[in-house]
Amino acid sequence: MGNILTTQEKTRLSGHQIVIAGGMYLLMSQNILAAALFEHIIQPYVETQLTYDSNLLRLPDNYTPEMSGNKDTPSSFIKQIRAGVSTRWQISRQQLILDASINQNWYSTFNELNYTGHQLFGQWNWQAGSRLRGEFSYDSRLTLGNFQALNRLVANNLQKMDRYIATGRYEIVPDWFLRLGYTRDDSTFPSTALQENNLTEQTKEFGVRYLNSLSNSLGFYLTITDGKYPFRDANSEFDNAYTRTSYNLEGTWYYSVKTRFKGVIGYTSQDYQNVKSRNFSGVTAQGDILWEITRKSTLLLEAWREVSEAGNLSSSFVLNQGVRLTPTWTWTETPGIQVELPVFYEQRLALGTIGVVSAVAEQSDTAIIRLNLNYVPTTNIRMTAFAAYEKRNSNFTLNSYQDQSVGLTMRVSF
């Protein structure tokens, strides 16, 4: 009788056996689960880049020794090594994307520019039900600022950029969507000489859009941007705050399987808080035409007229008007080979010139032609070689320059 188990004891024993068996199964399957996780979701990578730039500081032909830091040549080799990890996974209707990397940069001529940079990107593409979806994202990067607006050596020309984005859209009725968005951009410079360019922009967006099953769309949206320069005096000629308001009409039209038109046209006004002489208002627009000429070649034509921050201490913002033509060829026999030949031209007019109202504003035009050769021998290796020529003419002779550069990049993912 003592060896006979009661029904309760049998039930308890079965439960223990199930737990033990389940635990053993989980332990044995961890390697399989981990392998699947790392193979399909987490992807480490390394990247190396070597570039030669004939005029790194974008100096004019008649530059002074002080402008180049008393260096014998304005050219430099730039070496970069980058290591990072990217991950992407789907959880029901939610998609998460992460990418983090660190990079080390060396300059052969301008050793004072050597730096360690980084990038951190995260994005959550969220969806609630069948009608409501949107995006939350954060992008932070530390990099060397360009010298196009400086035209001289600034030893600590590092720039940290942080962007926060929150958007949402709701389908009111089939094909009609309400859209809301918020973006914050923080641009900071560690260098004391450049801190007056530190800028925070906060943009609110409200709009409505029609989007059909063919991906044709038509919409209207309003953006309100509040900008603040924390290191500028509100009572000085620099001013320290502004509001930019844009009313925009946007659309996308697939004329055929091979041809797509896309564009935005609007009216933009920028009002400064204190120095009203800098205020600007006018038509702004951007658009592009994508034409698939053959299975192996495409042609992309882009044009724009827009306002952006100047990035220097002699002007508050600039009006950019430009065009870019990018033909692309792909060899179908070798899918990993692609050639691009972008040709770029832009006119810039400095607005809100610092100083007296009658001060001469800078006007410049920049032309760039570039050749990109992309080669993907395997799914986890990508190589890019490029050559570029750049020339800028300005009514301020010290801001005119020309530059040639070549480079090679190789990225390996694991």
Contact 167, 207 (CB under 8 A): no
Residue of 187, 180, 257, 182 whose CA lies nearest to 221? 180
DSSP 209-226: EEE-TTS-EEEEEEEEEE
Question: How does pLDDT run across 304-323, given as a tens digit for each residue?
Answer: 999 876 655 455 678 899 99
Region 19-37 average pLDDT: 40
Q: Provide the pLDDT for residue 192.
A: 83
Most confident stretch, 2-16, 23-37, 270-284, 337-351: 337-351
Task: Give the model's confidence band at 29: pLDDT under 50 very low, under 70 low, under 90 confident, else very high.
Answer: very low
pLDDT at 178 over 60: yes
Q: Provide the pLDDT for residue 35.
A: 40
Domain residue limits, the chain: 11-40
Query: Percentage of the chain surpassing pLDDT 90?
Result: 64
CA distance 216 to 170: 18
CA distance 283 to 279: 14
pLDDT at 358 over 60: no
Q: Provide the pLDDT for residue 289.
A: 98
pLDDT at 4 over 90: no
115-128 and 94-107 beta bridge pairing: antiparallel
The larger pLDDT score, comparing residue 149 to residue 140, is at 140
CA distance 112 to 101: 23
280-292 and 42-53 beta bridge pairing: unpaired
Task: Tokens for 175, please give them.
Answer: 């094909």
DSSP 286-339: EEEEEEE-SSSEEEEEEEEEEEEE--SSSEEEEEEEEEEEEEEEE-TTSTTEEE
Q: Provide the pLDDT for residue 10.
A: 41
Question: How does pLDDT run across 49-105, given as a tens digit for each residue?
Answer: 999 999 999 999 989 999 999 999 999 999 999 999 999 988 888 999 999 999 999
Q: Which amino acid is at 188?
A: T
φ/ψ of 234, rounded to 5, equals -60, -25
C-alpha dist (Å) from residue 182 to 185, 206, 307, 353: 10, 9, 19, 30
Residue 93 three-state SS: coil
Region 247-252 average pLDDT: 97
Most confident stretch, 34-38, 87-91, 364-368: 364-368
pTM: 0.81
